[in-house]
Amino acid sequence: MYDTLFAHRHYTMKIIYLITYVALANGVEKFEVFRQWTLLNYTWRSQAEYKDALKTRRYVPQNNAPAGIKIYRNILYASVPKFREGVPVTLTTVENKPFNPLLTPFPSWELNDDSDCGNLQNVQSMEIDTKGTMWVLDGARINNYTRCPTKLVLLDLNNVGKVIRVKVFPNEVSLKVGGFLNDLVVDETSGGFAYITDASPVDPGLIVYSKEKNEAWKLRDSSMFSGKTDPQLFIKGSVVDSSYPIDGIALSPPRDDRIVYYCSVGSDVLYSIPTSVLKNQQLANTGEWRKNITAVGRKLGQSDGITIDSDGDLFYTLPTFYGVGKWNTSTPLWTSELFDRDEQQMVWTDGFAFDQRGYIYLITNYMYKFIQPKETLFHDGRVLFRVFRYHTGTKSYLYDK
Ligand SMILES: *[C@@H]1O[C@H](CO)[C@@H](O)[C@H](O)[C@H]1NC(C)=O
Ligand SMILES: *[C@@H]1O[C@H](CO)[C@@H](O)[C@H](O)[C@H]1NC(C)=O
Ligand SMILES: *[C@@H]1O[C@H](CO)[C@@H](O)[C@H](O)[C@H]1NC(C)=O
Ligand SMILES: *[C@@H]1O[C@H](CO)[C@@H](O)[C@H](O)[C@H]1NC(C)=O
């Protein structure tokens, strides 16, 4: 249905893309490099520990890649998901230095000790609300590095990352073997909600968590599957596994009935659903909520992370274009533009963050290679990971202007 509905617009967008491509090829660059790495390394507690970690392969430097980034009070936080052996910690702060900044386990080495299910196991992303609470998604369970249930951990950034709450998800909500809590947005209205994408290849869906009730429920719909009809992902000449389901999620700013937008890596269709529907647990049980899903249209291509700023502009990653798209959510989706691209520097545009000073941040990280243990990594000393920033003069979707 969506194919016929959007085919014409899609074609128009491709033409717009080509025109924009030419414009950008003439050197209109927007994002500037903020941080970059050839390799991730940590602030080890001692030289002995560092040497021992190398020897025992608790730390295999080339297997470490940053994924989620967020900023609070000028501190950059980064998650390091475990997709290969030798990733010693999974949540960190980044040293304030442009080239190869060291990562420090956050809130501590102890909370990053994965031998205890109560500690952080495998974190893909996090969000920080306006009060300084970090909502950490400890839910990458698509490999065998942990057998602990998935969970959401709330940390108080104004109190050295003290644990405020741990919500362990039951298997009915997110699988402890095969779950993949991928991204989230936080809604601070009605006592606080998180809307979470579960990119599980087995049981994908959209999880709603009410902070007030401390309860979670999951919505499952075909729009959240991978959308096998779409073209394969081509990056740097090779075909990339695009079978990931619902992944990118964005929330409109706190005005009226807020809208959640979501998309799967395997499809370029963007969907939306009102938060008043998501928040209604009874409605979730009936299946009636499916009537409230809207297929908004097609983006310029498939995406990983997406986000919205306080002005209502939706930024979306475009890994196959080595770039980022931008759409004013008050206008039709087909008017969206290729905002920036850089085939050399932006390899796998993954996700976004905002600071409180008017910048949007973008991380690029070759993730299509890291997530597939069979893929061979580079060993030529190239820069693999970059954090870019661009001044929008706006804040994140958490703020109303
Ligand atoms: C990694 O960081 C430690 C300090 O924590 C340092 O001693 C070591 O030389 C670094 N290794 C590399 C390869 O940069
Ligand atoms: C995890 O372990 C199970 C059983 O030991 C095995 O069948 C499966 O292939 C493993 N999964 C991965 C991703 O290595
Ligand atoms: C959800 O869909 C139902 C049935 O189409 C409709 O009556 C209702 O107004 C919708 N709710 C919202 C919040 O859009
Ligand atoms: C988005 O579009 C609306 C309607 O055309 C316009 O009023 C608004 O200023 C635009 N927003 C931005 C941030 O450009």
Residue 91, CA distances (Å) to 77, 176, 235, 295, 378 in order: 8, 19, 28, 34, 24
Residue 6's pLDDT band (cuts 50, 70, 90): very low
**Residues of the chain above pLDDT 90, percent:** 82
Does residue 43 have its Cβ closer than 6 Å to ligand 1?
yes
Q: Which atom of ligand 2 is nearest to the CA of 144?
A: 1
Express each pLDDT in 277-335 by its tens digit. Answer: 999 999 988 989 999 999 999 999 999 999 999 999 999 999 999 999 999 999 999 99
Sketch the domain layout of the chain as residue ranges.
Answer: 2-391
Distance from C-alpha of 181 to C-alpha of 267, rounded to nearest angstrom: 19
For the chain, what is the mean pLDDT? Answer: 92
For range 201-226, the mean pLDDT: 96
For 2-391, CATH gives: 2.120.10.30
Distance from C-alpha of 242 to C-alpha of 231, rounded to nearest angstrom: 9
225-238 CB burial, b ≥16 within 10 A, e <16: bbbeebeebeeeee
Express each pLDDT in 173-199 by its tens digit. Answer: 999 999 999 999 999 999 999 999 999
Nearest Cα residue to atom 8 of ligand 4:
330
Whether 164 has a pLDDT exceeding 80, the answer reads: yes
Distance from C-alpha of 285 to C-alpha of 172, rounded to nearest angstrom: 13
For range 62-88, the mean pLDDT: 97
Q: Which residues have CB under 6 Å of ligand 2? A: 143-144
State residue 204's pLDDT score: 96
Whether 79 has a pLDDT exceeding 50, the answer reads: yes
Is pLDDT larger for residue 272 or for residue 368?
272
Residues 6 or more apart whose CB falls under 8 angstroms from that of 164 comprise 133, 154, 155, 156
3-state SS assignment for residue 94: strand
**Prediction pTM value:** 0.93
- On whether the CB atoms of residues 366 and 65 are closer than 8 A, the answer is yes
Whether 5 has a pLDDT exceeding 50, the answer reads: no
Q: Which two tokens stand for residue 88?
A: 């010693």
Whether 240 has a pLDDT exceeding 90, the answer reads: no
Whether 228 has a pLDDT exceeding 80, the answer reads: no
Nearest Cα residue to atom 7 of ligand 2:
144
How far does the centroid of ligand 2 lie from the alpha carbon of residue 316, in Å? Answer: 33
Residue 229's pLDDT band (cuts 50, 70, 90): low
Q: Which two tokens stand for residue 259?
A: 């809208």
Express each pLDDT in 9-68 by its tens digit. Answer: 554 555 555 555 545 544 458 999 999 999 999 999 999 999 999 999 999 999 999 999
